[in-house]
Structure 1
Amino acid sequence: MMATSEEESGEETATDTEPEVLTGDHFMMGDTACAEGAIAAGCRFFAGYPITPASEVAERISQRFPGLPDAQYIQMEDEIASIAAVVGGSNAGKKSMTATSGPGVSLMNENIGLAAITETPCVIVNVQRGGPSTGMPTLPGQGDVMQARYGSQGDYPMIAYAPGSPQEMFDLTVEAFNAAERYRTPVIVLADQTVGHMTGKVSIPDSVETVDRPRPDDEIEPETFLPYDNSVQVPPMAAAGEGGRVHVTGLTHDERGHPDIDVDTHEKMLGRMMDKIDDNREEICRVQRYRLDDADVALIAYGSMSRSARDAVDQLRADGVDAGLFRVITPWPFPIDEIEALSAAVDRIVVAEMNLGQYVTPVRAHAACPVDAHTHPGGAIPRPDEVADTVREVIR
């Protein structure tokens, strides 16, 4: 077969005519919207490995990056190499991301921990599917919500966003990059197959607010520069090659980045890493309330499950049950204050999720009222009437 150039064929690729940010209204798949959100946020390095149901994110990036200045897409040999490349790309100064599903995150977790301890901003998109293991590649699940928080070993902070629509796949990917850059930390977009493969209206504004990581002054003094300065919550981050003499290691390290296996050093390093997220929970945590003002029972849901839960609330209201929805947009850090306030205002909480009871555990730990669960092993979103039936049963 003879190859024909674009000039010879007269055909144009999308990148020949498309601007960097595709402003306006679009009819777009969630995975595609995620890719566009990353581009709008300034992502210019992507490393990944194909996996259902996240492959469309990488596919869209691979189509768009050739038309963007200084953008690089690499298909790696596996997920371990993908996240390692993302950590490296970010340390080279690029806003970096990967996209995968639960089995891929399982392989990435060691280097997600590396990103956490080295305070490397990056975004990991997990389009969840039914698990465990290979599970159900083409069907939805929410079984990775605890993996997102505790997948790697040790203590480290985590921010995760759970989009519930193609529009939020765009919006929350932008927010994920902004949070990663603002706090110098890995951030997870915790989507699922339903939202990733859902097609709907996506409005991209003319101006997208973006955040860049704190950078050192123009004149870096190699002898005095502290890439992990404990006197500030988020130290300036120098890119490799800028003269900052940066040492990047997964070992416990001092403010210079040099290994220092010392209890006091470890406590200071880890304390600052945790505090920069914990002290900013009010700014980071996002929830959405629906019909909760006079509610006696509250449903808690996140991601695509919140769509079914919202309809369940309307069904219950039609039957005279004073129900409301508390939608968690940022599962992590856990919205402690918001859950405590909710549990003080209602008589009972029901957590609805597509797993066998994961997020309900921290809810029970912080709620002052009885907490029940509507669980499902994944593979399909529970119908609104099924969720409503659970609520009716527990309030009898």
Structure 2
Amino acid sequence: MKPGVYYLQGAQACLEGAITAGCRVYAGYPITPATEIMEHAAHRLPRLGGRFIQMEDEISSASVLLGASWAGAKAMTATSSPGFSLMQEVISFAIMTETPLVIVDVQRPGPGQGYITTGQEDVMQARWGHHGEGSIIALSPASVQDMFEFTIEAFNLAERWRTPVLVMAEETVAHMRERLIVPPPGTIPIVNRTKPQDMGIAPEHYLPYGHAQVPPMATWGEGYNINHVSLVHHEDGNVTRYNPKVHFENVARIHRKIEDNVDAIARLETRELEGCRHVLICYGSVSRTGIEAVLEARAERGIPIGFIRLHTLWPFPERQLRDLLPDVDVVFVPEMNLGMMAHPIMEALRDRCRRVVSIPSLGSLHSPEMILSRIYKELQ
């Protein structure tokens, strides 16, 4: 996409961000409200020498990304909440095999088929839905610009940390149309995975899961032996010499490479925090109406309330939150669910606030008036 100003749908901006990041493989299965990303991939990727594959279901779509990534490609898929459930096995597999890939979840309400409107009901599944230990990276876009930039960031994080990365979008942001500014290519940071060749490691000395906390990743066909295995393994990929010590070291390293680097991975956005006595913490498209509510509460009633937006949901930025908020009274958390992220926020600020107030909504985006009415009620 040439540099310039465009008027695009969030779904289109997401795919354009993926292309900019170097994605050339998309495997998918249609589902409302994520199908537009797949349609745009079918239109754009073949023209760029990429590959678009429509699979028979969501788990096979995610599985294609495993093979594509180990063959050296940057790969992605997009789905919505019911399909996201079906992808959890592949997400767990990708965590254990340290396979970089990107999954976009355009969230809709549940449980079951729920409905085809908007929601944020998959945010806990993003972290805890896959079986076993192993941390995840999950981003939360709020605009068409974010859909472009956060998708690029998702690929960069996947390549840097050798892990699956989730873009937790919502129907609201995927279907909205607004301005997108595409900067010149040289100004957009693009990260590519470290290969053993980059570290001067000869094929005979290569350990697929060794050498560093984030191991260099060889590509099939480049002369390196690759043990691509999701069983507990040694650094060389061997699975036959199992013992509890190896098990712990294997899984703990995969866990630590994310959790020990939260400050390098997670991002927050803040406004009006100086002198605030209360704070509103939100993420995704709720941040659009959330900031309106905060600014109106300050302007109309003089309420000293600040604003924090979580760009990164997981790994959860607990230390960053605690550093930002030494002491406040009430923390408001509007979400398009029944209060999911209010729990880690409450745990992070357990001794920094008097109470945490959830402002839930199901199936629709909060209006500023809805958020304001709860703020005024709690602070009257």
TM-score > 0.5, shorter chain as reference: yes
Structure 1 residue corresponding to 2:191, chosen from 208, 211, 229: 211
The Cα of 1:377 is off from its aligned counterpart by 4.2
The Cα of 1:188 is off from its aligned counterpart by 0.3
Deviations along 1:196-225, whole A, 9 cap, x unmatched? 001000011112220000111178644421
Distance in 2 (alpha carbons) for counterparts of 1:38 and 1:370: 42
Equivalent in the alignment of 1:338 = 320
RMSD between aligned residues: 1.4
Deviations along 1:137-190, whole A, 9 cap, x unmatched? 1x1000000011111011111111100000000000000000000000000000
Structure 1 residue corresponding to 2:141, chosen from 157, 160, 163: 163
The answer to whether the aligner puts 1:81 opposite 2:60 as a matched pair is: yes
Equivalent in the alignment of 1:9 = none
> Does the 8 Å contact 1:298/1:323 carry over to 2?
yes
The answer to whether the aligner puts 1:372 opposite 2:367 as a matched pair is: no
> Does the 8 Å contact 1:130/1:377 carry over to 2?
no
The answer to whether the aligner puts 1:263 opposite 2:244 as a matched pair is: yes
The answer to whether the aligner puts 1:61 opposite 2:61 as a matched pair is: no
Uncovered stretches (5+) of structure 2, i.e. residues with no partner: none
Equivalent in the alignment of 2:260 = 279
Equivalent in the alignment of 1:127 = 106
The Cα of 1:347 is off from its aligned counterpart by 1.9
Equivalent in the alignment of 1:312 = 293
The answer to whether the aligner puts 1:388 opposite 2:368 as a matched pair is: no
Equivalent in the alignment of 1:243 = 223
Aligned residues: 373
> Does the 8 Å contact 2:359/2:374 carry over to 1?
no
Look up the SS of the partner of 1:200 in the other structure.
strand
The Cα of 1:376 is off from its aligned counterpart by 2.7
Look up the SS of the partner of 2:147 in the other structure.
helix
Equivalent in the alignment of 2:32 = 52
Q: Percent identity?
A: 44
Distance in 2 (alpha carbons) for counterparts of 1:371 and 1:88: 47
The Cα of 1:339 is off from its aligned counterpart by 1.8
The answer to whether the aligner puts 1:109 opposite 2:91 as a matched pair is: no
Quickly say closer, same or farther: Cα 1:63–1:54, change in 2 above 3 A.
same
> Does the 8 Å contact 1:357/1:373 carry over to 2?
no
> Does the 8 Å contact 2:207/2:235 carry over to 1?
yes
The answer to whether the aligner puts 1:323 opposite 2:311 as a matched pair is: no
**Equivalent residues in 2 for 1:352-371, closer than 5 Å:** 352-367=334-349, 368=351, 369-371=353-355
AA partner of residue 71 (structure 2): A
Equivalent in the alignment of 1:13 = none
**Equivalent residues in 2 for 1:131-146, closer than 5 Å:** 131-137=110-116, 139-146=117-124
Equivalent in the alignment of 1:4 = none
Equivalent in the alignment of 1:182 = 160
Q: Which shows bigger deviation, 311-320 or 140-149?
A: 311-320
Distance in 2 (alpha carbons) for counterparts of 1:66 and 1:38: 14
The Cα of 1:383 is off from its aligned counterpart by 1.2
Q: Which shows bigger deviation, 210-219 or 191-200?
A: 210-219
Greater than 4 Å deviation, 4+ residue runs: 218-222
Distance in 1 (alpha carbons) for counterparts of 2:113 and 2:207: 43
Look up the SS of the partner of 1:344 in the other structure.
coil
Distance in 2 (alpha carbons) for counterparts of 1:30 and 1:215: 33
> Does the 8 Å contact 1:123/1:176 carry over to 2?
yes
The Cα of 1:273 is off from its aligned counterpart by 1.1
Look up the SS of the partner of 1:331 in the other structure.
strand
Equivalent in the alignment of 1:40 = 20
Distance in 2 (alpha carbons) for counterparts of 1:96 and 1:222: 25
Equivalent in the alignment of 1:6 = none
Equivalent in the alignment of 1:22 = 2
> Does the 8 Å contact 1:234/1:276 carry over to 2?
yes
> Does the 8 Å contact 1:129/1:379 carry over to 2?
yes
Uncovered stretches (5+) of structure 1, i.e. residues with no partner: 1-20
Distance in 1 (alpha carbons) for counterparts of 2:355 and 2:282: 13
Q: Which shows bigger deviation, 308-317 or 213-222?
A: 213-222
Distance in 2 (alpha carbons) for counterparts of 1:312 and 1:121: 38
> Does the 8 Å contact 2:4/2:182 carry over to 1?
yes
Look up the SS of the partner of 1:135 in the other structure.
coil
Distance in 2 (alpha carbons) for counterparts of 1:346 and 1:33: 37
> Does the 8 Å contact 2:196/2:202 carry over to 1?
no
With structure 1 as the length reference, what TM-score do the two structures score?
0.91
> Does the 8 Å contact 2:328/2:354 carry over to 1?
no
